[in-house]
Amino acid sequence: VADLDVEIRQIEPGDRLIGLSLGDAQFTALKTFLQRYARIFHQQNLARTYAAFAVGERPKVVGYVTLDCGEIVSEDGRDLLDGLGIGYRYSQYPAIKIARLAVDERWRGRNLGSQLVQLALGTAKDVVCPAVGCRFVVVDAKRASIGFYEKCGFTSLDTPANLVRNEPVMFVDLYKIPAA
Ligand SMILES: CC(C)(COP(=O)(O)OP(=O)(O)OC[C@H]1O[C@@H](n2cnc3c(N)ncnc32)[C@H](O)[C@@H]1OP(=O)(O)O)[C@@H](O)C(=O)NCCC(=O)NCCS
């Protein structure tokens, strides 16, 4: 990561995944997932977790993103691909999902969160898309993080049901971002 002495990579068996400090109690589940479940999800092919480690004698985890397969459901039948013009309508669109994302509170505001999102977008665009049909990256955004995802290029799904959701669906159309 530019300007930060941080290495971002997939978690490996010997990694120490403890010590993430996320502040508010509403984020405890994000901490517990990394400590207890991220490795099991890897082994079971349920999700891939990429962690950011502060480089040092003993690398310390300072953030992570977890990816799995998802979809966007067009709740009111609208065409999310506006103007594809092939006379074919999906009701679900294939997507990669940011299942979890967190940055240690002592490391926030240094672009690490957006680097983790860029990793998700790049992986979807450059690794998944060439091999498997996948049009979007989606996230169920915690309300406090909506502004962050907007800065990362995400748009809220503009349906009445979604806009009142506790964690509204936000998405990026991979077709509209350049390949690496
Ligand atoms: C949301 C989170 C991952 C952001 O991480 P971060 O490393 O601080 O974010 P960045 O430094 O990369 O911020 C990128 C941009 O978004 C802005 N931003 C960051 N958090 C924001 C927020 N909550 N609301 C609005 N804007 C925000 C930054 O100011 C920055 O803008 P800039 O490019 O104009 O300078 C982090 O605050 C976090 O872990 N929160 C708790 C867990 C959480 O909410 N996870 C998301 C679950 S869906």
Atom of ligand 1 nearest to the CA of 144: 23
| Ligand 1 pocket test, candidate residues 6, 145, 154, 172, most atoms within 8 A of CB | 145
DSSP string, 96-147: EEEEEEEE-GGGTTSSHHHHHHHHHHHHIIIIITTTS---EEEEE--GGGHH
For tokens 């459901």, the residue is 73
Residue 169 has pLDDT above 70, yes or no: yes
Q: Return the sign of the alpha-carbon dihedral for residues 50, 93, 74, 114.
A: positive
CA atoms within 13 A on the CB side of 92: 7
Tell me: the pLDDT tens digits for 131-153? 999 999 999 999 999 999 999 99
Q: With a 6 A CB cut-off, is 120 part of the ligand 1 pocket? A: no
72 by Cβ neighbours in 10 Å (0-12 / 13-18 / 19+) ranks as buried
Q: Cα(first)–Cα(last) distance of the chain, in Å? A: 17
pLDDT attached to residue 66:
98
Q: With a 6 A CB cut-off, is 101 part of the ligand 1 pocket? A: yes
For tokens 């955004």, the residue is 141
Q: With a 6 A CB cut-off, is 27 part of the ligand 1 pocket? A: yes
Tell me: the pLDDT tens digits for 15-60? 999 999 999 999 999 999 999 999 999 999 999 999 999 998 888 9
pLDDT attached to residue 57:
81
8 Å CB contact between 103 and 113: yes
